Amino acid sequence: MDVHIEHEGYERAIRELAASRGLSVSDGIGVAVCAELERDLDQKRRAAFLERVKEAQAIFAAASINDARTAEEILGYDEHGLPT
């Protein structure tokens, strides 16, 4: 398959990338495309992870706390921060 780049700026950038990495022009294009695909995949993974975190936060936020003790009492510290 042949690829023809008719945008002068893109062609220059491809050649610069290939030269700076010691690659052929074809390999330079391949490296750049693979890097972009990996970046897209990382963004999708990150978005999916954040969605799972939001779901977990919603579950914890909806959970009721049936303990009348103060946070200090639960942790076992008095008003001065000393263990009780």
Model confidence over 7-37: pLDDT tens digits? 999 999 999 999 999 999 999 999 999 999 9
Q: Is there a domain that residue 81 lies in? A: no
Residue 1 has pLDDT above 70, yes or no: no
pTM for the structure as a whole:
0.60
C-alpha distance from residue 82 to each of 15, 48, 68, 70 (Å):
67, 42, 20, 15
Q: Which domain holds residue 50?
A: 8-75
Q: Given this model, what pLDDT does residue 83 score? A: 86
Q: Is there a domain that residue 83 lies in? A: no
The answer to whether the CB of 35 falls within 8 A of the CB of 42 is no
Q: Is there a domain that residue 84 lies in? A: no
Determine the longest span between alpha carbons in the chain, in angstroms: 77
Q: Which helix (H) or strand (E) holds 19?
A: helix 8-21
Q: Who has greater pLDDT, 29 or 84?
A: 29
Q: Is there a domain that residue 1 lies in? A: no
User: Tens digits of per-residue pLDDT, 32-82?
Assistant: 999 999 999 999 999 999 999 999 999 999 988 888 888 888 888 888 888
Residue 31 three-state SS: helix
Q: Given this model, what pLDDT does residue 79 score? A: 80
Number of domains in the chain: 1
Q: Is there a domain that residue 12 lies in? A: yes
Q: Is there a domain that residue 17 lies in? A: yes
CA distance 36 to 43: 11
